[in-house]
Structure 1
Amino acid sequence: MPHSAKTPKDQNFEIFLAALPGLEAALHTEVRGKGFKLAKPVPGGVTIRGGWPEVWRANLWIRGAGRVLARLDGFKVQHLAQLDARARHVPWASVLRRDVPFRVEATCASSRIYHSGAAEERIVKSIQEAVGAPHDDEAELTVRVRIEQDFCTISLDTSGELLHKRGYKEAVNRAPMRETMAALFLQQCGYDGSEPVFDPMCGSGTFVIEAAEIASRLNPGRFRHFAFEQLATFDPEAWQDMREVKSRRVPAARFYGSDRDAGAIEMSVANAERAGVADCTEFRQATISEITAPEGPPGLVIVNPPYGTRIGDKQKLSALYNALGQTLASRFKGWRVGLIASDSSLAHATRLPFLPTEAPIPHGGLRVTLYRTAPLA
């Protein structure tokens, strides 16, 4: 953690990539695979070290991170006057611009400074004294302050909108799976882009499109804008060069989605077109009893069935999970299965031979688990 002021020329500060609790190891695997230096899993994400080009690259390349934070400073602090004094030494003027509004979000935990609003006020004041930038509670550029066990970490949120917003999805269905989470679940299932993927309850197409993008080597951030573009450290020409590096390839496999709902299929087709993967994806309306394995070599079936959070749902859903399991066991020999469920009894209603599971992951107010199989015999 940085204990001294950093300048934008410093190419060795800490960068934090946020993940959902329980998915840190999967994110770490992805970050290392993309060649980032000194990647280390920590609670809530992964840290790397580098400079501003690494910040841009992490936002552009990494599929599983929810946001990318650039650590500006870190110091012990026990009362507000101390925070006031230390905040004046943060190199605000080297990273923030006078003409760009900012906001501050503080959290306090197990610390003598416990009033986050008072901490925010001190940071706002120090930034305005140093830079003169306007404070605006609706600003895209966010300074994040975390005071935990009397240690204050000051970071810039370089992403802006959360990174699961890839920029191609206008249409979503109820309870959508975030793209970041879908990417890490695909990775936990051993998916590397070389095999077909089939989602028999595809909703708005998230798993299918994410798999097609991975296989096509398309950067997840290629369509969107990031908060770091508003920083004093931003170099538009270098960024343009980074964005324009093309590594697209034609996938060796195809990617399939089906859903019983015609509206879901329309959404999926439109989202795949906007993402630029319409040529390697196929979507069709079908019930679970109608699905069959696509022609060609086996691959991965990944599915996020309804969870049934209301009393009385479970019996109806148990029949659906059972039908899904029977269809996969009889028609998808040689395919691996990844199934996301919030209830182990529903998952086991499929009667599929699941491998040992990892810890559950928070999702939409629930905790969900990825259930995986080896290739079905």
Structure 2
Amino acid sequence: MALAPDFDIFLMAPPGLEAALYDEVRQHRFKAARQVAGGVMVKGTWKDVWRANLVLRGCGHVLARIGSFRVMHLAQLDRLAREFAWGQVLRKDVPVRVEASCARSKIYHSGAVVQRIARAIAEEFGAAIDDDAGVIVKARIEDDLCTLSIDSSGASLHKRGHKEGVGKAPLRETLAALFLRQCGFTGEEPVVDPMCGSGTFVIEAAEIAASLDPGRTRAFAFEKLATFDAKLWAEMKARSRPRVPPVRFFGSDRDAGAIRMARQNAERAGVSAFTEFKQQSVSDLVPPQGPPGLVIVNPPYGTRIGDRKPLFALYGALGQVLKQRFSGWRVGLVTTDASLARATGLPFLPPQPPVLHGGLRVTLHRTSPLP
């Protein structure tokens, strides 16, 4: 069964940020984009699969839908899996891992599904099955329809390929990118993060402003598929047109180790020329020279690092500094606790829906330009 010229491509969103990813997908002009549970569905070719991995900042994984069939029992699944044209997508010399899920179907045992499909790939096609393989075939049986997908990304797309140093409770780059988007950041204004940790918000903002593709320095699972064309992929990456941003991006933290990591991460990302990181406390924070922009911060939550009670004073101090010194700036603050956000005294707009992050539900609180 050959794939249609345009097939379904599922772009996985961080839970709760489907709408923000949909906005990014539409900006990049992917075809037939529609928001669905867990992400965004588009239509496209393998070149669109590659492009999604290369350019989308908020997407976690790109799944290429390679086929589907109705299935009522395991013997039928075994037969159809053996008849499937695996060679159109997989390579015999590249090991494969199979994952499965079942919902509202006569076949309900996901382990049995994995076993049948893996055996079909090994025995009929000849590829090795390896639980640690980077190429993953995903089978989802829902309402007795088996949908087969390839995870074209491999490692999660928040792993940009240049951030080696991380501090406590790091924010994923995909979340940072979508929070910046929800704050209205487009790359034309300065960004300040007064509790920057390893620099995720600052580096992500600088990359956006510099038009640097998030996937430019890493490898992907699709490079090990039969559908991959190295020459076309090299041409696609070469079309990137980075620029020198019109503004700079600033991070500070009281932890000297975090600042050291942030500078090293910025150097590896290629944005050190227009980022600045400084060791200082919140009380010493002042706005940089130039136009106002966005202050975005992911402070400690209490549930995340240590005890929660002392944090009210920290949030209060942050709010005082921003109200007194950052007139005209917008603020984005990420926290698990609305009472901590209120402790800042900042005039927040109605909050965004909560987002799952590391087992916690975090919420982005935003302001209009401060008076």
Distance in 2 between the 1:82 and 1:175 partners? 46
Counterpart of 1:6 in structure 2 is 2
Q: CA deviation at 1:151?
A: 2.3
Is 1:365–2:359 an aligned residue pair? yes
Structure 1: 5+ residue stretches without partners:
none
Give the conservation status (yes or no) of the 8 Å contact 1:256–1:281.
yes
Q: 2:51, 2:312 → 1: CA distance?
A: 44
C-alpha distance in 1, partners of 2:304/2:326? 31
The alignment covers a number of residue pairs equal to 371
Which of these residues, 107, 110, 116, is aligned with residue 110 of structure 2? 116
SS at match of 2:308: helix
SS of corresponding position for 1:38: strand
Secondary structure of the residue aligned to 1:315 is coil
- Give the RMSD, CA atoms, in angstroms: 1.3
- Give the 5 Å matches for 1:169-318: 169-309=163-303, 313-318=307-312
Contact kept in structure 2, 1:72 and 1:90, CA below 8 Å: no
5+ unaligned residues in a row in structure 2: which ranges?
none
Q: Confirm or deny that 1:155 pairs with 2:158.
A: no
- 2:81 maps to what in 1? 87
The counterpart of 1:35, out of the listed 29, 32, 42, is 29
* Match among 16, 24, 30 for residue 22 of structure 1: 16
Does structure 1 retain, via aligned residues, the 8 Å contact 2:287–2:326?
yes
Cα offset for 1:310?
A: 7.5
Q: Which amino acid aligns with 2:97?
A: R
Q: 1: CA distance between counterparts of 2:149 and 2:84?
A: 10
8 A Cα contact 1:198 1:300, kept in partner: yes
Cα distance between partner residues in 2 of 1:192 and 1:165: 22
SS in 2 for 1:224: coil
Q: Deviations over 1:193-236 (max 9, x none)?
A: 10000000000000000000000000000000000000011111
Q: Is the 8 A contact 2:14 2:174 kept in 1?
A: no
Question: What are the superposed Cα offsets for residues 107-126 of structure 1, whole Å, 9 maximum, x if unpaired?
Answer: 12332212111100111122
Which residue does 2:136 correspond to in 1? 142
TM-superposed CA distance for 1:346, in Å, is 0.6
Task: Compute the displacement of 1:73 (Å).
Answer: 1.3
Q: What TM-score does the superposition give when structure 2 sets the normalisation length?
A: 0.97
User: 1:314·1:346 contact (CA, 8 Å) conserved in 2?
Assistant: no
1:343 aligns with 2:355: no
Contact kept? 1:159, 1:228, Cα under 8 Å: yes
Q: Is the 8 A contact 1:105 1:120 kept in 2?
A: yes
Is this contact kept in 2: 1:182–1:210, CA < 8 A?
A: yes
Letter matched to residue 295 of structure 1: Q
- Asked if 1:74 corresponds to 2:68, the answer is yes
Q: What is the TM-score when the length of structure 1 is the normalising length?
A: 0.96
CA contact (8 A) 1:6 1:13 kept: no
Runs of 4+ in 1 over 3 A off after TM superposition: none
Are residue 319 (structure 1) and residue 298 (structure 2) matched?
no
